[in-house]
Amino acid sequence: MARAVVTGLGLIAATGSTATASLPDMYRGVRKHRPLSLFSAQVQKHSPVFEVDHPALQNSVSRSLDLAMIAVQEALQQAGLDRDFTKRCKAATAIGTTVGYLFPDHNFYSAFKKEMYPKRKAVEDFLAVNPAVAIAKSYKCLRLAVTVGNACASGTDAVGIAKLWIEQGLCDVVIAGGTDELCRTTYLGFTALLLTSPEACKPFDKNRKGLNLGEGAGILVVESDEHAKKRGAKILVEISGYGCNADAYHPTAPHPHGTGIKRAMTAALKQSGAAQNEIAFVNAHGTSTQENDLVEGKAIAEIVGNSIPVVSTKSFTGHTLGAAGAIEAVFTIQNLLDRKIPPTAGFEIADPACAIVPSQSESTIHGEFAISNSLAFGGQNSVLVFRAAS
């Protein structure tokens, strides 16, 4: 069976417009949250957000697709693949999103609600910018194209699907990841659920008050080890494990005993073959909400112990929803390559109930394997394990 490896990384978020450009500030603990400016939201208490600044995002039909395209270009460049690479291999796309398929056109909905007749172009534009299909068309990835909509685990599951396709011999190369834009619908929705914080988020902190939303895209070039070696590509990591399940406990809350995330972590670790002493760190879902951090912290401590370093990179990007798992996969891989992790920004006071204490400063890591967790609405739990290339 073929091994799924990663040869290229692409990222755009509030941290920076490339993967490597993001890391220096992160290692120093610098983050770039700010008041909401992309749209108006009439709410009693506004939450800071992590917006992206990039000239390619001006007046766009689909901000989510444009974010993805920026990250795709970076990932393909690092992987050494030109625009015609699909003529020489079996190529596919797997992209996770939430806003990218929610049709976030507020003007259309407002007009429709008022019993007016809005222009159909908004719907036509939406149908034309399905992220996986649009990327597949742009690069002529004709093998398979799947857009994953598993809420906040979407990006993780897209990478997991790419791993399965490679292992089963369906593809040689998969452009995989996730993308999501800041959107009025989700901003108001999370505000209504009382999950947003009026200040910068502080994952796993005793005084955490909720999450901040963000936007961005993370893309991985996933290919078979045989294909990568044949073309002389540098292998960054192997995707050694993937586990997922749905605990079906509650539409928006995690199972109080962490049943789903523990099963997903156990399955991913078993598949990876990693021993506990070989795990370098865990990139937690770490949203900074009361229940998520409590449940996930306990699950991490139970499955891998509380001595393995844990970081939440959402403290630098905000919660990017369908893009979160993919963005965190990019950071997890890059941190594994750099042999260090950043602090969990905003963390100050440990919460004994969470059973873990996240990173508080730039920290050197040891071990071959790194874990990236995702917990999502609807009870979806997804985990990736990466192994450093030997």
Q: What's the chain's length in residues?
A: 390
**What is the tens place of the pLDDT at every residue in 189-247?**
999 999 999 999 999 999 999 999 999 999 999 999 999 999 999 999 999 999 999 98
Of 77-91, 92-106, 352-366, which gets the smallest average pLDDT?
92-106
Q: List the catalytic residue out of 183, 201, 319, 354.
A: 319
pLDDT of res. 44: 67
pLDDT of res. 192: 92
- The pLDDT-based confidence of 117 (bands split at 50, 70, 90) is confident
CA dist., res. 21 & res. 23, Å (int): 6
Q: Is the pLDDT of residue 375 over 80?
A: yes
Range of the domain at 324: 4-388
Q: List the catalytic residue out of 227, 255, 285, 354.
A: 285
Active site annotation includes 285: yes
Backbone angles phi and psi of 363, in degrees to 5: -130, 135
Give the β-pairing of 173-180 and 340-341: unpaired
Active site annotation includes 54: no
Q: Distance of CA 30 to CAs 252, 342, 363, Å?
A: 30, 10, 15
Alpha helices in the chain (DSSP H): 19-28, 63-79, 106-113, 121-128, 131-139, 154-167, 184-192, 225-230, 259-272, 290-304, 314-317, 324-338
User: Which 8-state DSSP code applies to residue 243?
Assistant: E
Q: Distance of CA 13 to CAs 1, 23, 34, 225, Å?
A: 35, 11, 13, 29
Summarize the confidence of residues 368-384 as an average pLDDT.
96
pLDDT of res. 173: 98
Q: Is the pLDDT of residue 101 over 80?
A: no
In the chain, the percentage of residues whose pLDDT exceeds 90 is 83
- The pLDDT-based confidence of 358 (bands split at 50, 70, 90) is very high
- Residue in 110, 314, 86 with CA at minimum distance from that of residue 205: 314
Q: What is the CATH number of the domain that holds 160?
A: 3.40.47.10
Q: Is the pLDDT of residue 30 over 70?
A: yes
**What is the tens place of the pLDDT at every residue in 290-347?**
999 999 999 999 999 999 999 999 999 999 999 999 999 999 999 999 999 999 999 9
**What is the tens place of the pLDDT at every residue in 226-239?**
999 999 999 999 99
Summarize the confidence of residues 98-103 as an average pLDDT.
78
pLDDT of res. 59: 63
Q: Is the pLDDT of residue 110 over 80?
A: no
pTM higher than the cut 0.75: yes
Q: Count of alpha carbons within 13 Å of 351, Cβ hemisphere only?
A: 23
Consecutive H or E run containing 178: strand 173-180
Q: Is the pLDDT of residue 50 over 90?
A: yes
Structure token pair of residue 135: 């990327």
Q: Distance of CA 125 to CAs 101, 103, 105, 145, 371, Å?
A: 11, 9, 10, 19, 37
Summarize the confidence of residues 252-276 as an average pLDDT.
95
Q: List the catalytic residue out of 152, 171, 183, 201.
A: 152
Q: Is the pLDDT of residue 119 over 80?
A: no
The count of structural domains within the chain is: 1
